Amino acid sequence: MENKRPAIILKKAAGHGGHHGGAWKVAYADFVTAMMALFIVLWLMNSSKQVQEAVGGYFKDPTGTSKKVGSNMRGAGENFTLTRDNMPKLKEQLQSAMQQMADFENLKNHIEMTVTSEGLRIELSESASGTFFDTGSTKLKPDGEQLLVTLAQELGGLPNKLSIEGHTDSQPYAPSATYGNWELSADRANTARRVMQASGIRTDQITQVRGFADQHLRKPEAPLDPANRRISLIVQYIVKNSGDGEGAGKDEKSPPVTKPSPGAPKT
């Protein structure tokens, strides 16, 4: 009987569909990009209004050449010039910056911003126990110093000039005192100037430091009310003069002559 050789059948192992290329990398990159965008959106939603405006301003003006607030991250920005038209924008930005302070809720009733013929007037009024300064003293409280630093950082990038005023109530000092309301109001304004110039305000930006004692009471019907004791910051307009181009807004008040005020001692 003839021996038959065994038949050998070779089967080729089935593959996995061949090489897929780099399509998966593209899909993965799209997924990572989408996740990054999601996290950025979530971060912005929980950020302050000031940060949101700054980011929005960048996308509106990436080069920073326009006059839109937010195109410059440093305060109000060097490209932002305070005029009568954009006053509400600056006021809104300052409010947003102050709201980031830890004790803003305790201070907000003592901060008032109004538009006047001079510019934006920011008034920091005192309480009976002292809000920004120690009572009868030129020493700043921590909240007062922090607020002045915040304002300096916001206003330091403006080309506008500033003036600072000090005011007291009508409580007099003793007749024999060599220091009175005139000195106190001027010294408090000068203390505010020093803090602000050390925190972002340019040396040539403050044009006047004025002390008015009790000559411009906030509440004339209540001359001893603590709210009459205050510091006023005026961000002056920049207006166009007919001959010289642009110049700082004019002040309507003249600085007073410093003199002692008679009366009983301060508490």
142-157 pLDDT, tens digit each: 999 999 999 999 999 8
* 30 and 85 part of one domain: no
pLDDT in tens, 2-20: 566 776 766 665 555 555 6
Q: What is the pLDDT of residue 49?
A: 66
Is 5 a member of any domain?
no
Q: Select from 189, 138, 127 the least CA-distant residue to 164.
A: 189
What CATH number does the domain containing 212 carry? 3.30.1330.60
Cα–Cα distance for residue pair 60/211, rounded to 1 Å: 43
Cα–Cα distance between 11 and 73 in angstroms, integer? Answer: 70
Give residue 40's domain range. 26-73
Lowest-confidence segment of 67-71, 127-131, 149-153, 167-171 by average pLDDT: 67-71
In a domain, 100, yes or no: yes
Report the pLDDT value the prediction gives residue 63, as an integer from 0 to 100.
Answer: 53
Residue 1 lies in a domain: no
Which residue is it, tokens 């700054």? 54
Q: Is 254 within the bounds of a domain?
A: no
| Helices vs strands, H then E, count in the chain | 6, 7
pTM of model > 0.75: no
The model's pLDDT over 216-267, given as tens digits with 9 standing for 90+, comes to: 999 999 999 999 999 999 999 886 554 444 444 444 443 444 444 444 445 3
**Percentage of the chain with pLDDT > 90?**
43
Could you say which DSSP state residue 162 is in? E
- The CA distance from 177 to 263, in Å, is 8
Q: Please indicate, yes or no, whether residues 122 and 39 belong to a single structural domain of this protein.
A: no
End-to-end CA distance of the chain: 134
Q: How far apart are CA 146 and CA 199, in angstroms?
A: 10
Specify whether the CB–CB gap between 164 and 122 falls below 8 A. Answer: no
Residue 16 placed within a domain: no
